Amino acid sequence: MAGFFTELAESFMPSHWDEISQRSASQGISFFTKVLLLAFLVMILLAIPSMIKLPATISEQLNKFDTIQLSGDFNMSSPIKLPKSDPYFVFDTSGAFTELTTERILITEDKIFYRPLFGTHYVNTEQLKDLKHNRDNVKRFLAALVFFVLPSILFYAFVTVWLKYFLMILTLSIILFVLLDLTHWRRTWKELFLAACYVSTVPVFAEVIVGAINSKLLVPIVSIAGLVQLYLAPAVILCVLAIGAAMCVYSNKEEEK
């Protein structure tokens, strides 16, 4: 890990860009991936106060409800298990499951069992119909449900952002290669790809951390299928820094001649 922070410091030093440009493309991808992991870690640490306040926030929102009308008739021949082996979640109204064993969430005909970290808790489905008198139980259940779902959301977000930036870096390096090839500042594609990877720290941190606080500050420009959001500010920062890094590589090469 110490090696990564050394790389991180070197990526902000123009004098090191000649050496950085000699590294392999896989090293550039590895660096960019570690930067993204660090950004997500910082975001999670910054979100801890909000997560601590989550039960109170849920309780405040539940005050907007007096009752919820739930209706349904489920007849099952066998339980639904996710995943099939060593299930994390079980939905069963057949009576095969009546209490939690190794699962985290069990939904039966009349109860919802869940295990946050230690101990087993449950909410009667009837309680959901009368939030005014069962708000504390429902609040604890919804807070636990959020924590259960959060790892999946973070994993999806990480993969989405990684793919988006990889494609941005790849596209940018190709465009710069074509444009610079028409000038005396021409560089190899690998050098430009590495430059884009190693200058990704600022735009990645901006998108992950600032985006989690207020994404409008990043200037959204287009949404792809409602799943991937492209932002103007990080894209411009990436382009400017990549061009600057390419110029540093060219300047360092010229000084060596």
Q: Are 108 and 122 in contact (CB under 8 A)?
A: no
User: For the residues 241-248, what does the mean pLDDT come to?
Assistant: 86
Give the amino acid at 16: H
171: its two tokens: 């596209």
More confident residue, 253 or 146: 146
Residue 13: is its pLDDT beyond 80? yes
User: In the chain, pLDDT over 70 holds for what percent of residues?
Assistant: 77
- How far is residue 112's CA from residue 121's CA, in Å, rounded to a whole number? 8
Rounded to two decimals, the pTM is 0.73
- Residue 239 has what pLDDT? 92
Select the more confidently predicted residue: 255 or 35.
Answer: 35
Mean predicted confidence (pLDDT) in 28-40:
94
Measured CA to CA, the distance from residue 176 to residue 220 in angstroms comes to 24
Mean local confidence (pLDDT), 104-125: 73
Using only C-alpha atoms, what is the Rg of the chain? 25
Q: Could you report the per-residue pLDDT of 132-181, keeping only the tens digit for each?
A: 666 676 677 677 777 777 777 788 889 999 999 999 999 999 999 998 88
Query: Which amino acid is located at 257 in the chain?
Result: K
Q: What gap in Å lies between CA 198 and CA 176, rounded to an integer?
A: 15
Mean pLDDT computed over every residue of the chain: 80
The pLDDT value given to residue 27: 93
Q: Say if residue 83 is preceded by a cis peptide, omega within 30 of 0.
A: yes
What mean pLDDT do residues 100-118 have? 73
pLDDT at 147: 73
Give the integer Cα–Cα distance in Å for 21 and 29. 13
The mean pLDDT value for 235-247 works out to: 90
Query: Which pLDDT score, from 0 to 100, does residue 38 have?
Result: 94
Q: At what angle do helices 54-62 and 25-52 cross, to 10 degrees?
A: 60
What pLDDT is stored for residue 184 in this prediction? 78
- CA gap 113, 98 in Å, rounded: 9
Q: Which residue has the higher pLDDT, 247 or 64?
A: 247
Higher pLDDT, 256 or 63: 63
> Does the pLDDT of residue 208 top 80, yes or no?
yes
Q: What is the pLDDT of residues 75-103, one digit of tens each?
A: 666 777 766 666 767 777 777 777 777 77
Q: How large is the average pLDDT for residues 47-51?
A: 80
Find the farthest-apart pair of alpha carbons in the chain and give their distance in angstroms, rounded: 80
Q: For residues 119-126, give the mean pLDDT.
A: 72
Query: What per-residue confidence (pLDDT) applies to 199?
Result: 92
Crossing angle of the two packed helices 189-198 and 131-180, in degrees rounded to 10: 150
